[in-house]
Amino acid sequence: MNEDWNWIKVRDDYEPVKFKMDESVHEKNKFILAENMRADWCSEGIFYLTNLRDRVEPWLTSLFQSEHLSLLIGSGLTTAIQHKATGYITNAMDIPELITSFADKIRLAVNKSASCKNRGEPNIEDYIRVMNELLCGLNILQQHEEYNTLKKELDRILNEFAYKISHIEYMIATANEDKREASFANLVLFLMSFASRTGTRERLNIFTTNYDRIIEVGAELAGLHLLDRFVGSLTPVFRSSRLDIDMHYNPPGIRGEPRYLEGVVKFTKLHGSIDWVDNKGDIRKIGLPFGLCDITSFLSAPGLSYDISKIMVYPNASKDRETTEYPYVELFRDFASALCRPNSTLVTYGYGFGDDHINRIIRDMLTIPSTHLVVISYDDKYERIMKFYKDTGRVNQISLIIGKDIADIDPLTNYLLPKPSIDINTIKMTELLTKRYGQPNKPNEYEIDGGAEK
């Protein structure tokens, strides 16, 4: 897909509308439709970002107040924040350099796996998964020497992978103060646009495939309370017996049931995190400072086993199948149960639809007629989004906001996303104007003429 073009499909659009920035003039945020492209809301083929806001923002506002709302965040959010803070991008998913004697066979298996899954180019996750499977095979064949050699190679790759992820955090944390604060302000606006739900609605569910802690930092700055499966203070432990934990408060002078506390979000990291470690069968979260490049010193703390392969990133390097599935089986059960129910809306941001195990759950969600999917993405480099859109056969349940001019973090938070607050006064004012004039902020002819009938 050409990066100069943007795609939008919201409300009653029959098909995605293709447009791009008009570079022939010096007017800011002016767009033109593609040739032979028609849209009922743009008869002359020219519109501005403010016109797009009038069309998109009310639609997203209504969807964000669905009975069940979930947000799936991919690597695009980290990329956007890093670029705004530092001016450049670091890719932690680069293909690793192999020095093992199995290198050629591993590459062949990785390329075949990526092709079967329609991922396009393979990344480091594919290499870790294939090497992990090869380790299992060597262990079964009792080829101990080859096993130990490959195990050291995988440990090296995992160590480099963890360093790259933490180094991205480090670059953001040490960026120019003004740029860093501006990027964090965008991050807070982004999260609050989704988290601003009234107490009568179910909590927002945030799911992410990222290993870094960008979302955790944004939630901390925004004052959001993240609820996950970890219990404890110093080194929280992952619990399978998850109860429907929430936060309430008792208003002073009020009797009766407690009220929901605002700003509470249920949070799930589907692929693990660089601060999760497997410690003697328990999954624990260590107190890893944001932006710390060397995490090995934290793994050598008393009570933790010093083993880089115990960092819980998906797919991890554990030897047995049971450990490989835990805790990810619990996390994906949460993902499926949150999405696959009536009146549910899922918003994806920065997710490229390259994971079949996630796409399968989204497809199952769309089989429920009252569900809706909103895809927000900076680009569609491998055209996986459009392929998913067409293959599902549920185009009326999918909204698209794709392109660098509308899905970048700046225009998205400043123009297209809903106002990030639970503004009861605005809601009441809109209802009052609707009752009084028929349309909000637009008095009818009867009122303009002082009550004289036409």
Residue 6 lies in a domain: no
Q: Is the C-alpha dihedral spanning 319, 322, 325, 328 positive or negative? A: negative
Residues 263-301: pLDDT tens digits? 889 999 999 898 888 887 788 888 888 888 777 777 777
Q: CA–CA separation, 10 vs 396, rounded Å?
A: 9
Identify the helix (H) or strand (E) that includes residue 130. helix 124-140
Q: CA–CA separation, 292 vs 172, rounded Å?
A: 11
Which residue range is the domain that position 431 belongs to? 427-454
Residue 159 lies in a domain: no
What share of the chain in percent tops pLDDT 90? Answer: 37
Query: Residue 296: helix, strand or coil by DSSP?
Result: helix
Q: Could you give the C-alpha distances from 8 to 20, 75, 143, 146, 417, in angstroms and in order? A: 11, 21, 55, 52, 14
How many Cβ atoms from other residues are within 10 Å of residue 282's Cβ? Answer: 12
Predicted pLDDT at 425: 66
Top-confidence range, 115-119, 329-333, 439-443? 329-333
Q: What pTM did the predictor assign? A: 0.87
Angle between helices 328-339 and 356-366 in degrees, nearest 10: 20
Q: CA–CA separation, 263 vs 296, rounded Å?
A: 34
Residue 448 lies in a domain: yes
Q: Could you give the C-alpha distances from 182 to 41, 242, 263, 344, in angstroms and in order? A: 33, 37, 22, 32
Residue 452 lies in a domain: yes
Residue 196 lies in a domain: no
Residue 436 lies in a domain: yes
Residue 178 lies in a domain: no
How many Cβ atoms from other residues are within 10 Å of residue 154's Cβ? Answer: 21
Q: Considering its fold, how many domains does the chain have in total? A: 1
Mean pLDDT of the chain: 84
Residue 324 lies in a domain: no
